[in-house]
Structure 1
Amino acid sequence: MKITIKRDDAFEIYELEDGAYTLLEALEKIKHEIDNTLSFSSGCRSSVCGSCAMRVNEKEVLACSYKVEDGDTVEPLNNMPIIRDLVVDMDKSYEMNVKAKAWLNKLNHEATLDHEAEKINEVQSDCILCGSCYSSCPVYAVNGEFLGPFSLTRVWKYVGDKREADAKEKIDIIQTNGVWDCTLCNNCTVVCPQNISSKADIEKLRIRSSMFGYSDPNFGNFGGGFDSGFGFDGSPTF
């Protein structure tokens, strides 16, 4: 079994005995038995911590759950500075949460969450901070100020939370380098190990934005009327 790993600007090929390995097990075998200079991140080994996210054959995976195959090519995540080999610096992607104010900002102390309200944003709470959505995002690749799918999903979580007393403030913030910059390509949803659809969350944020008077600046207001970019049922009109 041969595995190709990107290291700096070069690719190195490692050969292992055939076997049923996870990618993380294969990387550890290479490090302990072949090349102890190989660097990668790992943590829980249970697809919970997200620290072992990387790309295999140009698709984001968790190394602890991906079953390695002969001929696989392994690379670090995209759109983030490489520290060494398969280890990347996630700080900038996390900083986008601060820009987006992706937390409960003004708490409505009179609001309480019942079971049904909790389930509305239950999926968004499952994010494991792996960064796969950022890595797969074509917009983030060309616009480093784009808030990105991870932060926008978190914004929707709190905009949709009835305990948030000022949802409009969050909507105001995401108008620049935010919801309208997304191409809705769905890459983020495809690679998310927790099956979170950031695309769907961004679409809901666009609908909420139109309710506050915003529209897609890329389309403008044809004929002098207000065009939110969405029909009355919330479906895109473009």
Structure 2
Amino acid sequence: MNISVKRSNNDEAQIYNVELENVTLLAVLNHIKTKLDPTLTYSHGCRSGVCGSCAVRVNGREQLMCEYKPGEGDVIEPIRNVRVIRDLVVDSSIVEHFNRAATAWSEGSHEGKVSEEDASRIETQSDCILCTLCYSACPVYAVNPDFIGPFALTRVWRYVNDVREESSAAKIASVQTNGIWDCTLCGECVPVCPQNIAPKQDITMLRMKSAMMGYQDPNAAMAFGGGLSF
């Protein structure tokens, strides 16, 4: 089996021939690293699809190396919209940056029991592993590098939708600029999520919640006279 890996030293793909079958891409790269080319550089951690550190693109689609099984002619490259450190290793500080921009964490919660129904409403979003595959798949960054992005916005919805959260209004306010209205709702983030989270749906719900709180799409306002009242 021949696979190509984009290398950062010359920005070109290097072809490796590997005689392995029915194994993960991570196993293939480990074989290349130990048997063929010790200079190949990539990231991994848990090897079980939980930590998200082995995110890459395969044939133009985002994948986790520990879950994807490669085939003949596959082309492996680093995820998009982020600085490449070396080969398939990227600067992951964007996770902290965008989570901070969106205050995507609990800032205080009410004490008390949570019903099964209430817990189920935030269960899916709580499964986010911050792998950044949705971030890589998002086309908005081509025009707006400050876009808060799908993984941070879906985490905001997780806390806004939590009955215990005390700062829901502040979180809604934090995603009005470079946030929910900048998303094109293209849905590219949905099929690449290894946890079956649908950021597009969560962003739509954040828009609805924002409208209920008196916010509006600034682009729509400009289209109808710049938001002026008559």
TMscore range, shorter length:
over 0.9
Aligned to 1:189: 190
Residue 114 of structure 1: CA displacement?
1.4
Say which SS state the counterpart of residue 32 (structure 1) adopts: helix
Is this contact kept in 1: 2:7–2:88, CA < 8 A? yes
Counterpart check, 1:176 vs 2:177: yes
Aligned to 2:148: 147
Aligned to 1:231: none
1:14-67 per-position Cα deviation (integer Å, ceiling 9, x unaligned):
111152221011101111111000001111111111111100000010111101
Aligned to 1:66: 68
Aligned to 1:99: 101
Say which SS state the counterpart of residue 171 (structure 1) adopts: helix
Aligned to 1:2: 2
Q: Aligned partner of 2:79: which letter? A: L
**Which runs of 5 or more residues in structure 1 are unaligned?**
227-238
Q: 1:225 to 1:137 in 2, by over 3 A?
A: closer
Is this contact kept in 1: 2:95–2:130, CA < 8 A? no
Pairwise mapping of residues 93-172 of structure 1 onto structure 2 (< 5 A)? 93-109=95-111, 111-172=112-173
Say which SS state the counterpart of residue 201 (structure 1) adopts: helix
Cα distance between partner residues in 1 of 2:21 and 2:166: 55
Aligned to 2:34: 32
TM-score by length of 1: 0.90
Q: 1:28 to 1:197 in 2, by over 3 A?
A: same
Is this contact kept in 2: 1:50–1:62, CA < 8 A? yes
Detail structure 1 runs of 4+ shifted over 3 Å in the superposition.
221-226
Say which SS state the counterpart of residue 6 (structure 2) adopts: strand
Residue 222 of structure 1: CA displacement?
4.1
Cα distance between partner residues in 1 of 2:137 and 2:43: 19
1:101-152 per-position Cα deviation (integer Å, ceiling 9, x unaligned):
111224234x531111111010011111111011111112332211100110
Q: 1:132 to 1:225 in 2, by over 3 A?
A: closer
Is this contact kept in 2: 1:53–1:63, CA < 8 A? yes
1:178-197 per-position Cα deviation (integer Å, ceiling 9, x unaligned):
00000111111110000000
Of 163-172 and 69-78, deviating more is 163-172
Aligned length: 225
1:183-230 per-position Cα deviation (integer Å, ceiling 9, x unaligned):
11111111000000000000000000000111111112749999xxxx
Cα distance between partner residues in 1 of 2:225 and 2:141: 33
Identity of aligned pairs, percent? 53
TM-score by length of 2: 0.93
Say which SS state the counterpart of residue 172 (structure 2) adopts: helix
**Which runs of 5 or more residues in structure 2 are unaligned?**
none
Q: Aligned partner of 1:218: which letter? A: N
